[in-house]
Structure 1
């Protein structure tokens, strides 16, 4: 039975790598996955999804895919699963449209993304997924201290936590760091602060 999945994690939790591995698993079994991302996410090129460890695949935009689904029937469907990277950037309406694909066509939609922004506030797409997904999974990563990381801290050029600014700012490795709740609130980004 098809499901709407939300697999979330903090920055660096290997969400994109997981999405690409799931895509590969479907292909290996002779299935056809559709790989999607929001149009606003173009760091790796318009039609490319790339993980930090170097895995990559071609993709389409969620917006174009959803537009192409209008008026389609079950006989028109030529794919077996939909995999969405960076789902936090989607609107609630787009999440609901992905959920309709699960319900109307019995095709699973697997969404990967962040749960919260650098201020600890929820993204619209993530909130909607948390409320409506059939299955929710935390892809875990750890803080520098070894505790579970659940916060995405934005860093300035000196490596200090930034608490104000635009909700969305694309960055590369070094722009964001995943921290546990304690060290996010304390503003401690490495263990070096504790070395005498």
Structure 2
């Protein structure tokens, strides 16, 4: 029986790299996969999914109106899919997460979701909250704080490196906008 997986971590833990490695492993064995990423993350220049270490791959892009059940089922009817891999899964709507569960349960396609657990305020993203609640397997990937502890938080910073305390939950950015920290250093940065 196929499962719904949620691989989660803070920024810079290698989520996209891990996804691309899993995709490579399936394809190397002659198995078809389908990759997805959030349409709102348009940072990729050459590929829809890009890792900081230079790996990349093309992918379909989802937004709030994308019916993943319909789109994946249609592709699966043409060529059987061994796996569906979703990057930036925190941006899935709760309904889309349930569609992913249906793909695993009814279409028997493993669905591997990779994303952030919490935002820059330490609050769950709606998609991540549902994934944490219903995924068959939860896997935490590790990032490292500057102190050497496990980084679990995503601090949003301004142009001068100061902590940002308010703003929209979603603001796309990389190392110039976010720093992965342990909870202690996250709290200290917000207290300054």
Structure 1 segment 31-70 matched on structure 2, within 5 A: 31-44=31-44, 48-62=48-62, 63=66, 65-69=68-72
2:175 to 169, 173, 176: 173
Runs of 4+ in 1 over 3 A off after TM superposition: 64-67, 72-77
CA distances 1:40-93 after superposition (whole Å, capped 9, x unpaired): 2222159611111110001012326544246x5975552110000000001000
User: Which residue matches 2:152?
Assistant: 150
User: Which residue matches 2:10?
Assistant: 10
Assess if the C-alpha contact under 8 Å between 1:117 and 1:167 holds in 2.
yes
Structure 2 distance, partners of 1:157, 1:172, is 12
User: Which residue matches 2:140?
Assistant: 138
User: Which residue matches 1:193?
Assistant: none
Unaligned runs of 5+ in 1: 189-196
Structure 2 distance, partners of 1:2, 1:173, is 35
CA distances 1:4-45 after superposition (whole Å, capped 9, x unpaired): 000000000000010001000001111111110122222215
Assess if the C-alpha contact under 8 Å between 1:118 and 1:153 holds in 2.
yes
Cα distance, 1:182 vs structure 2: 0.4
SS at match of 2:34: strand
Assess if the C-alpha contact under 8 Å between 1:39 and 1:46 holds in 2.
no
Assess if the C-alpha contact under 8 Å between 1:118 and 1:154 holds in 2.
yes
Assess if the C-alpha contact under 8 Å between 2:7 and 2:139 holds in 1.
yes
Unaligned runs of 5+ in 2: none
CA distances 1:139-174 after superposition (whole Å, capped 9, x unpaired): 011100001111000011111111111110011322
When residues 87 and 164 of structure 1 are mapped into structure 2, their CA distance, relative to the original with a 3 A threshold, is same
Assess if the C-alpha contact under 8 Å between 1:115 and 1:122 holds in 2.
yes
Structure 1 distance, partners of 2:138, 2:166, is 29
Aligned length: 187
What TM-score results when the alignment is normalised by the length of structure 1? 0.89
Structure 1 segment 95-114 matched on structure 2, within 5 A: 95-114=97-116
